[in-house]
Amino acid sequence: MIRRPLVLALAFALLPAAASAQDLLQTYELARGGDPQLSAAESSRLAIREGAVQARAAMLPQLSAEATVTRSHNSGPTTGALVDPGTGLPLEDANGDIIQVEGDGSSDTTRRSLGVSARQMIYDRSRFTQLRSQKALSQASDFQLEAAGDNLITRTSSAYFNVLVQLETLAAAEAAETALQKQFDFASKRLEVGLAPITDVHEARAQFDSARASTILARNAVEDAYQALAEITGQDARNLKGLPADFQPALPVAIDSQQWVTSAIDNNPSLKAKQLQVESAEAAVETARAGHWPTLYANAGYGDDKTWGDTSFRGFSRPTEDESRGGNIGITLSVPLFSGGAVQSGVRQALAQRDIANDELEQQKRALTRNTRNAYQALVAGVSEVEARRLALVSAQAAYDASQVGLEVGTRTVLDVLNNQRNLFTAQQAYAQARYNFLQNRLLLEQAAGTLDVEDVQEVNRLLTADTAARTSN
């Protein structure tokens, strides 16, 4: 059910083999082969599909063969014929009747039984409804796997973009630390010549120490982001490509939010899977009700039995042997009469489970509508946000540069410079976050609409450049 499998295979085949990914598409390739969540989803699909095979098998002929060998020994008081010791023949009285006497007897018997039996359903309503239920679950598992594939794209992109955001945050933190160290050195020199109070030195030192701590935290955040990405791909991915400085966001398709919602309702694989699960629950209700219906089965068999052994009585022993073989064929009609209320209870249980599935479907549909609209609005707002953040960064940089000049000519204090430096650092973080949030929201919107595939990854990947990776890694 994953769309465009040939396109995906060709895209991966054209990629150069590498131990670590450098762009989003290569990272996604690693995730496709190394993500345990996707692997579990694939195995789950295979397991669920076997349910339909088993339900169909119950409707086909059931053949079995048996072989039994039994050894038995019996002894105790019994009544038997009086035997002539010479001839070993029973003795008769004057009337010609065999003389019966009491005594201790025993027997050793071996019985061998071979048999083949066959059973074929003629009519069993529960078998048909179970097959329909399992077929619906099997189709649902296809859509669940497709949803897992879409989720892998957004999880990979989120982890990938988070690394880039943390790298730019680290770069900004290191730049801030360097600038604040210069401010501390400058304030110390001005104090030595009597041009600045001691409070400026203390303030500069406090800001510098805080910047050093922020840099340490930023380095840890970068390493954690790399590990989060490796958790998905199974391999260490470094030197990631990022967005260029002149990136201009644009909406992918000029359609309104209602069209995106309509596409989501029609195409979202998770919603389709839930709809099929509701169909399965409906069939399960019919399966429970089938407990009231009669069943009709045909059966046939063939057996070959043989018994042999020895019987002893009053010191005399004689062998015994018996053999029989033959076949049988028939039809069994079973009509349920009373089961203690178990069938009615099963129907009520199945109805409740069907209602749960319907409520979950409605909740998922409402959540999908809300999330799709929110993703669309976030994407639309993201275009303006990125531009606003860029302008805020330009203004923060200009304010910082102006405060630096003002400090040199005596119109600004060290505190002014430090405040502007902090504002610049915050603006750099916000700008980086806004740019990558825009790309992530773009993929999330396609995921909600049920149209996300590898071509969307390729399109986003084309926006990334190696120059940014080199700049953010240094």
Could you tell me the CATH number of the domain that includes residue 220? Answer: 1.20.1600.10
My answer on whether 321 and 463 are in the same domain is no
My answer on whether 308 and 223 are in the same domain is no
My answer on whether 171 and 242 are in the same domain is yes
Q: What is the pLDDT of residues 367-379, one digit of tens each?
A: 999 999 999 999 9
pLDDT, residue 85, reads 60
Mean pLDDT (the chain, rounded): 85
Those residues with Cβ within 8 angstroms of residue 99's Cβ, 6 or more apart along the chain or in another chain = 81, 82, 90, 91, 92, 93
Higher pLDDT, 460 or 465: 460
Query: Would you say residue 205 has pLDDT above 90?
Result: no
Instruction: Pick the last residue of a domain from 305, 334, 363.
Output: 334
Q: What is the pLDDT of residues 247-263, one digit of tens each?
A: 888 887 667 889 999 99
What percent of the chain has pLDDT above 70? 83
My answer on whether 162 and 70 are in the same domain is no
Measured over the CA atoms of residue 164, residue 170, residue 173 and residue 178, the dihedral's sign is negative
pLDDT, residue 424, reads 86
Mean pLDDT of 37-61: 95
Q: How far apart are CA 465 and CA 68, in angstroms?
A: 76
pLDDT, residue 418, reads 74
- Total Cβ atoms within 10 A of residue 143: 22
My answer on whether 118 and 135 are in the same domain is no
Of 423, 430, 420, residue with least CA distance to 400? 420
Q: Which helix (H) or strand (E) holds 233?
A: helix 198-233
My answer on whether 284 and 299 are in the same domain is no
Q: Is 288 exposed, middle or buried (0-12, 13-18, 19+ CB in 10 A)?
A: buried
What percent of the chain has pLDDT above 90? 56
Q: Model confidence at 18, in pLDDT bands (50, 70, 90)?
A: very low
Query: Would you say residue 429 has pLDDT above 90?
Result: no
Query: Would you say residue 421 has pLDDT above 60?
Result: yes
Mean pLDDT of 215-227: 93
Query: Whole-model pTM?
Result: 0.80
Q: How far apart are CA 58 and CA 128, in angstroms?
A: 10
pLDDT, residue 360, reads 96
Query: Would you say residue 452 has pLDDT above 80?
Result: yes
Mean pLDDT of 332-360: 94
Query: Would you say residue 129 has pLDDT above 70?
Result: yes
Of 197, 210, 204, residue with least CA distance to 418? 204
Do the bridges between strand 62-81 and strand 295-313 make them parallel or antiparallel, or are there none, so unpaired? Answer: unpaired
Side chain identity, residue 12: F
Q: How far apart are CA 325 and CA 303, in angstroms?
A: 5
pLDDT, residue 7, reads 36
Q: How many domains does the chain have?
A: 2
pLDDT, residue 101, reads 58
Higher pLDDT, 366 or 108: 366
Calculated CA dihedral for residues 241, 247, 248, 254, nearest 10 degrees: -10
Q: How crowded is the C-beta side of 325, counted as CA atoms within 13 Å? A: 6
pLDDT, residue 411, reads 74
pLDDT, residue 136, reads 96
Q: How far apart are CA 214 and CA 169, in angstroms?
A: 10
My answer on whether 87 and 162 are in the same domain is no
My answer on whether 174 and 83 are in the same domain is no
Query: Is the Cβ–Cβ distance between 294 and 259 less than 8 Å?
Result: no
Query: Is the Cβ–Cβ distance between 196 and 187 less than 8 Å?
Result: yes
Instruction: Pick the last residue of a domain from 270, 303, 334.
Output: 334
41 by DSSP, 3-state: which?
A: helix
pLDDT, residue 284, reads 95
My answer on whether 382 and 468 are in the same domain is yes
Mean pLDDT of 78-87: 60
Those residues with Cβ within 8 angstroms of residue 140's Cβ, 6 or more apart along the chain or in another chain = 48, 272, 273, 274, 276, 277, 280
Query: Is the Cβ–Cβ distance between 214 and 226 less than 8 Å?
Result: no
SS3 track for 191-223: HHCCCCCHHHHHHHHHHHHHHHHHHHHHHHHHH
My answer on whether 454 and 419 are in the same domain is yes
My answer on whether 305 and 242 are in the same domain is no
Query: Is the Cβ–Cβ distance between 404 and 271 less than 8 Å?
Result: no
My answer on whether 409 and 394 are in the same domain is yes
Query: Would you say residue 190 has pLDDT above 70?
Result: no
pLDDT, residue 8, reads 40
Q: Which range of residues forms the domain containing residue 367?
A: 5-58+126-289+342-473
Q: 212-220: long-range contacts (C-beta < 8 A, 24 or more apart)? A: 212/177, 214/173, 214/176, 214/177, 215/170, 215/173, 215/174, 215/176, 215/177, 218/166, 218/169, 218/170, 218/173, 218/174, 219/170
Instruction: Pick the last residue of a domain from 334, 357, 388.
Output: 334
Q: Model confidence at 17, in pLDDT bands (50, 70, 90)?
A: very low
Higher pLDDT, 351 or 420: 351
Query: Would you say residue 21 has pLDDT above 50?
Result: no
Query: Would you say residue 473 has pLDDT above 70?
Result: no
DSSP characters for 264-292? HHHH-HHHHHHHHHHHHHHHHHHHHHGGG
Q: What is the pLDDT of residues 52-82, one digit of tens each?
A: 999 999 999 999 999 999 998 876 666 656 5
pLDDT, residue 104, reads 63
6-10, 85-89, 220-224: the lowest-pLDDT one: 6-10
pLDDT, residue 173, reads 87
